Amino acid sequence: MNRKQQKTLSRIKDKPTCADLTWDDVQSFFKAIGAKIREGEGSRVQVIFNKRVLRLHKPHPQKELRKYAVEAIRDFLINIEVIK
């Protein structure tokens, strides 16, 4: 995991939840930890890690994720024990 991906993880863990985290940064982080990203119809995305699945929507037309999406990602990372 490179420095930018470590910073992305740190920003995901931040409270209060940040509102300027981009999908590209999060996608890069997920790939670094070995998660698979499957795109569905429209903006639907599945992040798959060790048979656990996170379903969310990519942001559009803006690049930044909404706070509820960042919180869902944080909860997912806690469940897969990336965040303790």
The CATH number covering residue 74 comes to 3.30.920
- Pick the closest to residue 13 from 29, 28, 34 (CA basis): 29
Q: Whole-structure pTM over 0.75, yes or no?
A: yes
Q: What is the rounded average pLDDT for all residues in the chain? A: 95
The angle subtended at Cα 69 by Cα 65 and Cα 72, nearest 5°, is 150
Residue 84 lies in a domain: no
Residue 41 lies in a domain: yes
Q: What is the mean pLDDT of residues 75-81?
A: 96
Can you read off the two tokens belonging to residue 27?
A: 């996608």
pLDDT tens string 41-54: 999 999 999 999 99
Total domain count, the chain: 1
